[in-house]
Amino acid sequence: MKVNNKFKKSVPESSPYDDRSIDIFFDEGNQNEELNELEELNEELEVITEQIELSIMEEFFDFVAFEEEQKILEQDSSHINSELSYRAKIEYTVADIIFQAKNKYIK
């Protein structure tokens, strides 16, 4: 069913254009189809938006997990380095004592 609505558009007197009517036709059947299409598109958009949000959250959690893992590795690395340094100092001290003992007692 088509409905013809006329809207009068006023134009200032100084305008070179005369007042004119604007005809707008509404086709209710076509509007329902377009409304249904828009609703379907909106549902698809919501699904896509949810997928994007989930993907972003997964990436964020992966990033946070990676950062935490890096911190742990750095802590482990510094602990290992300090332990190796401590062992190296002990080994050097023991080697130095043995070397001095050899020089002192074996001549």
pLDDT digits (tens, 9 = 90+) for 58-91: 999 989 889 988 888 888 888 888 888 888 888 8
Domain ranges of the chain: 2-105
Per-residue DSSP letter, 8: E
> Between these two residues, 17 and 68, which has the higher pLDDT value?
68
Beta bridge partners of 43: none
pLDDT at 89: 86
CA–CA separation, 94 vs 99, rounded Å?
9
- Contact by Cβ (8 Å): 69, 41: no
Say what the pTM is. Answer: 0.42
21-55, pLDDT tens digit by residue? 554 555 566 778 888 889 999 999 999 999 999 99
Return the residue matching tokens 């802590």: 75
Alpha carbon dihedral 47, 48, 51, 57, in 10-degree steps, equals -120
Provide φ and ψ at 52, rounded to 5°: -65, -45
Element (H, E) at 84: helix 28-105
